[in-house]
Structure 1
Amino acid sequence: MKHSLLWIITVTLLTLTGQSVGAEVWRIASGSWPPYSSPNIENGGIAVAALRRSLKIVGVQLDIEYMPWPRAKLLAKRPEFDGYFPAWPEEVEEGFAASKPVAMSQIGVIRNQNPLEWSSASNLFKRYKVGFVRTYDYPVDLQALFEKHQEQADANENERELSRTLAAGRIDAAVTDPNVLLHTAKELGLTGLVAEKRILYRKPLVVALTQKDGYKRKLALLNQALPLMTLQQLYCCPLLTD
């Protein structure tokens, strides 16, 4: 009788603290990409928090491991991982399956204190030196501009390097998610960086699930719990060209 009572008390306490006995756990590799994902932000970042809420609906606990983005995509191939997050659809590599959108990010233009005059993305590259992050899989239109304007396109290893390069005036503009670069600049104590009002793309952030045994069930389970994104949320502000 005492053992039964102790078991009931234990289960009750676990329930009250938001834990479940024998709950399914998904181990996801993640890059530190604040404010969307970061171990230094409350709830792990806004995209991670959204994913955690959705998985909780279907009784799944989320175990996030933060690391550099290239390493996250590499380690996610190991059997102990279930995938990587947050990824743009272009970043879902072979051997992985993309979920429905978990949250939305964007790609825009950030400048330093010197104003920019540009009418399109291609016009921007013709007139200015533009930085980007080499480890990102940008939309194909932007990738084509990086290739076409190699003398004007400046590749950086990560957002921290890109922020410093822009603040130092070694480039005129940066193409990335403005929220991420400005958040990173603030962490580094850099000032004077401004996001242009025009947004080039709104980009869904998806989970790249490893295609191992049982992944189809997991994909269906996650997609069932994810919020429905409207067309306006998914598609906005197509890349302008001359």
Structure 2
Amino acid sequence: MESLKYHRILLKLSGEALGGDVGSGIDPKRALDIASRVKDVREMGVDVAIVIGAGNLWRGKVGLTSGMDRATADYMGMLATVMNGLALMDALESLGVMTRVQSAIEMRSVAEPYIRRRAIRHLEKGRVVIFGGGTGNPYFSTDTAAALRAMEIDADVLIKATKVDGVYDSDPVKNPKAVKFDQLTYIDTINRRLEVMDSTAITLCMENKLPILVLNLWDAKALHDVLVGKKAGTLVTA
């Protein structure tokens, strides 16, 4: 068995990852694709926690442009993350991966309340833990929730899963000459406005020395490679 560089990870997924080709709604086949990748990682002996966004179901910015109260729009997004978490849990358990969904907003009928020590215990028992409900507070993104939860569970790295193979100096879809970064500092990421994650999340990681890895979730080898210490994606560190 290959030696592991990271033994506990927090995987940050966008809501659009569940949305299929159109990026909206929940596509059960796409959920199953993600679940199979998580299962492979879990079978390597890596503890896996997940935070998933809600952009496939609700975007708070849409509500704000229509005059909606910011807190209300954010709470709606938090609820949508739990829906995505339940869909991913169902896909994982269909593959035999024991999973728990914990929500920062209490809804005991469908998810456990978020309790740090319980989450860690689930991970120690080999279960995948999905954190829903963001931080439980409006005005904070799921990026920030991912950074916070990663530190609370003592994750070795926060992995931002995207559709591209790392961070570029401009949009590689629009600019064929875009340059990919293999490594960045937290400060460079913020100063260049590279939109790896929001500035609150990056600052939180910087203050607590939590590395961020940005990679392509749909590359069959990328996730495996970084876990065993091979180069893939873009690493953001001090």
- Looking at both structures, which has the greater relative contact order when contacts are Cα pairs under 8 Å and sequence separation is at least 6? 1
Q: Tell me the TM-score normalized by structure 1.
A: 0.27
Which structure is higher in strand share?
A: 1
Q: Tell me the TM-score normalized by structure 2.
A: 0.28
Rg larger for = 1
